[in-house]
Amino acid sequence: MSIKSTILGFPRMGSDRQLKKLVEGFWTGKATEQELVEGSKKLRADHWALQKTHGLSEVPVGDFSYYDHVLDTAFAVGIIPDRYKQLDTAGTQAYFAMARGLQDKSIGVDVPSLEMKKWFDTNYHYMVPEIADGQKFVLHSTKVIDEFNEAKALGYAARPVVLGPVSLLALSKTAKGSSSKPLDHLANLIPIYVQLLSQLATAGAEWVQLDEPVLALDLDSHIYKPAFEQAYGEFAKVSGLKYLLTSYFDRLGDNLELAAALPVHGIHLDLVRGVADLDKALEIVPQEKVISAGLINGRNIWKANLEKQLAILTKIVGARKSVWVSSSCSLLHSPHSLRPEAGHLDDETLGWLSFAEEKVEEVATLAAAVSNPDSAKAQLEANAAKVASRKQSERITRPHVQQRLAALDRSFYNRKAEFTHRQQLQHASLKLPVFPTTTIGSFPQTAEVRKARAQFRKGTLSKAEYQEFLDSETRKCIEWQDEVGLDVLVHGEFERTDMVEFFGEHLEGFVFTKKGWVQSYGSRCVKPPVIYGDVSRPHAMTVDVARFAQSCSANKPVKGMLTGPVTILQWSFVRDDQPRSQTAGQIALAIRDEVVDLEKAGIKVIQVDEPAIREGLPLRKADYDAYLKWSVDVFRLATTGVNNETQIHTHFCYSDFNEIFTAIKSLDADVITIENSKSDLKLLGALEVHGYSAEIGPGLYDIHSPRVPSVEEMAARFAALQKYIPAENLWANPDCGLKTRGWPEVKQSLANLVAVAADARASYAARKASA
């Protein structure tokens, strides 16, 4: 049997983050739009060539994006909110304004970006389309058709990738001032999809990949079953096209019967996270339909156990007429290639790993192993040896770490007193004003900071010289915060490249790649560390920096800044040979030791960030309780070793918090700072439903946009918050860290924020005086 080998998508950024440089060059005026277009075209061609060279029989197209594929789809079908229609919608101006916001006094434009949310349970962020009452849809962009024609002209067998209409609307939100639900607009959207699909058929496409990832969620069948049937019933009328229906990140579960019955020609199964679907799928998916077997993990970096995956594939081939081999999901979530890591990682570790390029090879090897077993014999033997090497390595296990975690009792998970008592002691100790101001942690990583770091790593700047530079930057940062009037300061994190990588570099059980970059949002890339073994802290990680930073301020507290165990776990590539909860517990003990040492060093406010705690929530509600139990436990394990006077902060961002607000309360943090500005104050709904008795700082402005928020804009937001949150519990702060912003916009934005808090204090004092 000849089996098609393919993947659901490929990383966009390039082997050396070429797309990041192209896009940022365009934003700063260093590159023209034509240079952006041509550079991106070359990058796509390079990626298709790589996939073909490594043995794929068909390449996906349309998975490329300047910023985000959900934004691309919304833009393509004309979901462009009115505030952007004053801009050039034919080129990239309106598109990037929707992504980043645009503030340009020369043309009288000041528009915020769309809301940003996490893409299911990944660290990728998508832009949330806004659907207004009376929404008009139009085929506004032919991007996917153009890219299909590019690939076709280069001689590739190509499959266009399109985000399906049901998922597009399910991931959208109702525009402010509108009352209709996004899915109410499906009937009007379907003809635009039909138009797009018809043009793809005319262009010569044989197959189209329709991504419907919401099929991995718990869906109301009364709403979604007719929605899918309506849309795909119309798509079936387009002559000359075959459809591969894809979902990923979890099992289809109770949606499998719906997917199997739709008039499509193939069903993709995520057989890494959804292998439980397989037996039923083999039973109910009609024989004339292709089964696309997602056997290679698109979300982790460990070399696949090809012997194990081949056994699953053989089972499928024995039961089906037509089978494809693929990645479990798009390889967007994997680094580009292992090639730059040769000579950087040790040979043993290198042999355990597989990035996007290597995963393409694994897909092709599985297909070859069925089609022509002798042709894949050498690759399978080499793979088996590497899998065995990892399993047998003595570097993986540290008995003292496992013994310490196993010996804990429940006393390690509780503070010494309840919050109300702690709050009294903390207010007496810190002496902060009402509506205290702070930031989330990082300050701009300027070109000078990056240059000094690069020089230090190359050896052209000595350790002493680099430390002197960092001390100078820290001192200047704290002095400016003091001068502008912030109440609780931060040191700026100039020594850190990344909030997870920094801690991994100081913990045992981690290794670090040279160019293992993964897209997080837009042009922002992260380089996740790799957790290969048991985790422990051999020495203090932040105490010296925190002690120095506190010495730079005469009378204001400076926060100790740590990343929490769940976020370190979520934003790393995690070992898959033990439960994630066990690895998280090991990390929590390391952070606990650091928290205790910070307190001993005189740090009175310690922030343990958990922006990824919502991201880790399973997609299926049946799996929620187990995850929330251990994720709350590991945060408490990390933070409960201090005295009542020490104020513990945490931070969350860019997620729907309603589903986990009870868990957030259970963390027992003294202060939480939480994203709020991009989500139209949706947090207020959670507060109204669930209540919150501890202190809280909902973000007053979006830091992912370069625009500077006005005093009036933030004041209106802060006034709304005061209706729900008692004055003694309310903080003023940005949405997130300021690492990616420039100093001029940061200074003006924070000056405005401090002014908002000052005005609020004056009004509060006046109200108290008149009461």
- Residues tagged in the binding site annotation for L-homocysteine: 440-442, 609
DSSP 341: G
CA 588 from centroid of its chain's CA atoms: 21
Q: Which two tokens stand for residue 297?
A: 């993990």
Supply the DSSP string of 577-628, one letter for each residue: SS-HHHHHHHHHHHHHHHHHHHHHTT--EEEEE-TTTTTTS-SSGGGHHHHH
**Binding positions for L-methionine:** 440-442, 493, 609
3-state per-residue secondary structure call for 267-291: EEEECCCCHHHHHHHHHHCCCCCEE
Nearest to 494 by CA among 544, 437, 557, 452: 452
Known binding residues for 5-methyltetrahydropteroyltri-L-glutamate are: 20, 123, 524-525, 571
Nearest to 697 by CA among 445, 428, 432, 424: 432
Distance from C-alpha of 499 to C-alpha of 733, rounded to nearest angstrom:
19
**What burial class does residue 439 get, using C-beta atoms within 10 Å of its C-beta: 0-12 exposed, 13-18 middle, 19+ buried?**
buried
Q: Nearest to residue 453, comparing CAs of 513, 511, 510, 493?
A: 493
**Taking the CB of residue 336, how many other CB atoms lie within 10 A of it?**
24
Contact 674, 699 (CB under 8 A): yes
User: Any residues with CB less than 8 A from the CB of 77 and at least 6 apart, and which?
Assistant: 137, 138, 139, 140, 168, 189, 192, 193, 196
699: exposed, middle or buried (Cβ count in 10 Å: 0-12, 13-18, 19+): buried
- Residue from 185, 333, 649, 704 carrying the catalytic annotation: 704
Which residue's structure tokens are 């979901």?
79
276 contact partners, CB below 8 Å, separation of at least 6 = 251, 253
- Strand, helix or coil for residue 557: coil
Annotated binding site: 20, 123, 440-442, 493, 524-525, 571, 609, 651, 653, 675, 736
Query: Please, are residues 271 and 328 in contact by the beta-carbon 8 Å criterion?
Result: yes
Helix (H, G, I), strand (E, B) or coil at 55: coil
Q: Do β-strands 524-526 and 518-521 pair in parallel, antiparallel, or remain unpaired?
A: antiparallel
Distance of CA 126 to the CA centre of its chain: 9
Tell which residue, 606, 588, 591, 701, has the closest CA to residue 645: 606
Burial 629-658 (b: 16+ CB within 10 A, else e): ebbbbbbbbbbbbbebebbbbbbbbbbebe
Known binding positions for Zn(2+):
651, 653, 675, 736
Do residues 627 and 618 touch, judged by C-beta distance below 8 A? yes
Instruction: State the Cα–Cα distance between residues 53 and 706, nearest whole angstrom.
Output: 41
Classify 700 as helix, strand or coil: coil
**3-state helix/strand/coil string of 702-734:** CCCCCCCCCHHHHHHHHHHHHCCCCHHHECEEC
Question: Coil, strand, or helix at residue 633?
Answer: helix
Three-state SS at 697: strand
Q: What does the block give as tokens for 767?
A: 């109200």
Whole-angstrom distance, CA of residue 445 vs CA of residue 496: 9
Where helices occur in 601-741 by DSSP H, the ranges are 624-639, 661-666, 682-690, 711-722
Q: What distance in Å separates the CA atoms of residue 576 and residue 533, rounded to the nearest whole number?
A: 10
Beta bridge partners of 160: 61
CA distance 187 to 592: 54
β-sheet bridge partners, residue 699: 733
Q: Any catalytic annotation for residue 333?
A: no
Q: Tokens 């009792």 correspond to what residue?
A: 409
Point out which residues pair with 111 in neighbouring strands: 102
Of the chain, the end-to-end C-alpha distance in Å amounts to: 84
Residues acting as catalytic residues: 704
